Structure 1
Amino acid sequence: MVKDPTLEKNGLLLGPDPGDARLSREVGGVDQDGNAVRTRVVTEKPLTLYLNRQEIVTMMTIGDYPDLLAVGYLLNQNMLSPDDEITDIDYDDELDVVVVRTDRETDYEDKLQRKVRTSGCAQGTVFGDVMEGFGSIALDPDAVLKTSWLYALTKAINTAPSLYLEAGAIHGCVLCKGGRPLVYMEDVGRHNAVDKIAGWMFMNGVEPHDKIFYTTGRLTSEMVIKTAMMGIPILISRSGFTAWGVDLAREVGLTLIGRARGKRFVALSGEDRIVFDTDPGSVAEEDARHARKGGKQR
């Protein structure tokens, strides 16, 4: 668990560390007037994941929390089950390799032949059987989202220190409860940020039924599938929707809210969970700097 005054101030249990020199670096160039400039850019490095003795995938990532990313990826690809016991996680930062070891014998040779490239940044990938059992997912029907929580979350998340505000070109995902952000993860691909949170939840035994998931990226089929598979009943984004994402959310009763900026939002699925307890007229608009967060990448 990260112990940092900035995190405690923002109420986070785990979050971005914009000051980590491994995650971005300064480079030189010129601007539109030909003047010399210095700017920060995020790092991007390969991470090869093994499950026991089998190589699973090589992911492009900023490189933080490789253990959580590995566990979350395996969970969201149905290669780990909730009752699996992880006996060890080894990470070699020189070879950029992470190995997850389990008590259960695993062999996913056939599964690895059925890859589907997703719309996620940094080449998101899912496997052909990931939809098996999707329609039978049961999300908590008693979960609620108060609009006061929604407005509190968007303000807290948009003003939290982040690598995006330092260097851009990155997505963020946040696990929340009520109006409080709990865990904030960033990566070059939003699917990686989701997987880190899934890994954190698994490693810490965190229940999903009363949680809210927030992302800066689009509400695509991949985002809906992963959120539903994690058992989280509410998904919020600053960005827009895809048609299949909406269809899948409606299929499993996921509350799907997009274009959540300042006082505005649009819900296209699971609207019955929303409790309108705040007058939007009392909510301030975002200031220009934070309005960029989750919008066009710099």
Structure 2
Amino acid sequence: MNRPWPLFALGTQFGDALERLSPLPPSDFRVARSTIFALVARVRQLDSAYKRAGAVHGCVLAAGSEILHHVEDIGRHNAVDSISGQMWLNGERGDDKLFYTTGRLTSEMVIKVVEMGIPVLVSRSGTTEMGLQVARRCGVTLIGRARNERFLVFNGAERIGFGGCLCAWRACLHACASLIPC
């Protein structure tokens, strides 16, 4: 991240943000299925306001399954923006990181991780159609419904190392629009 970026995007600002958005550069970054499972388990173990009171969203920046930053806020956008700011202040790159959110995988969330240079976006929730479209356009691996030892890959399954997992669905990678349950 070379510059701070206005991460809010409402109305015409959203259209402007989408127009100037560039796809992520090609990368050899890969993440093992087991790493995603381990990250989800570590997020569940965090002491969180959500567990105590509910009604908050949490976000995590991770290097593999190691949690680098964890932020909770009433607004999911605020939590993402806080991590973006921490990355910028610390001069951290995103090209070898994963981003986890408890919220839906909306177009705004995908745009934010693209601007942070993060290739993999994971959520315990699902995606929206527009979120999926932006992920496809920008080359983001989009993983939703990540709970316990299962998740759905909505886009970018080529970044996931499935190891010995011979999911029947994996053979349908292109035919099923990259929707891979595992």
TM over 0.5: yes
Q: Which runs of 5+ in 1 are unaligned?
A: 1-73, 80-113, 118-125, 281-298
* 1:261 is aligned to 2:147: yes
Selected match of 1:209 from 80, 95, 98 = 95
Q: 1:167 to 1:132 in 2, by over 3 A?
A: same
Distance 2:38 2:56 in 1: 23
**What percent of counterpart residues are identical?**
48
Letter in 1 for 2:51: L
* 1:115-154 equivalent positions in 2, closer than 5 A: 115-116=10-11, 127-134=14-21, 136-154=22-40
Residue equivalent to 1:77: 6
What is the SS of the residue equivalent to 1:130?
helix
Q: Which of 241, 255, 263 lines up with 2:127 in the alignment?
A: 241
Give me the TM-score of the superposition, normalised by structure 1.
0.52
Based on CA coordinates, which of the two structures has the bigger radius of gyration? 1
1:186 equivalenced with 2:72 (yes/no):
yes
The answer for the alignment partner of 2:179 in structure 1 is: none
Query: What secondary structure, in the 3-state scheme, does the structure 1 residue paired with 2:79 have?
Result: helix
**Secondary structure at the residue paired with 1:141?**
coil
Where does residue 232 of structure 1 map in the other structure?
118
Structural RMSD (CA) = 2.2
Which structure has more relative contact order (CA 8 Å, sep 6+)? It is 2
For the residues of structure 1 that align with 2:98 and 2:121, how far apart are their CA atoms?
A: 6
Query: Structure 1 residue 78: deviation in Å?
Result: 6.7
CA contact under 8 A between 1:76 and 1:195: conserved in structure 2? Answer: no
Q: Return closer, same or farther for 1:204/1:173 CA change in 2, 3 Å cut-off.
A: same
Dislocated runs of 4+, deviation >4 Å:
none
Residue 109 of structure 2 aligns to a residue whose secondary structure is helix
Higher-helix-fraction structure: 2
- State the 1:137 CA deviation: 2.8
Q: Deviations over 1:66-87 (max 9, x none)?
A: xxxxxxxx934279xxxxxxxx
Residues in 1 aligned to 2:127 and 2:14: alpha-carbon distance in whole angstroms: 22
**In the alignment, residue 133 of structure 1 is paired with which amino acid?**
R
Structure 2 gap ranges (5+): 167-182
Give the match for residue 223 of structure 1: 109
Query: One-letter code of the match for 2:126?
Result: G
Instruction: Work out the CA distance in 2 between the residues paired with 1:185 and 1:216.
Output: 11
The TM-score, its normalising length taken from structure 2, stands at 0.83
Question: What letter corresponds to residue 240 of structure 1 in structure 2?
Answer: G
Question: Following TM superposition, by how much is the alpha carbon of 1:129 offset from its aligned partner in structure 2, in angstroms?
Answer: 2.1
**1:278, 1:228 → 2: CA distance?**
30
Q: Which residue of 2 aligns with 1:68?
A: none
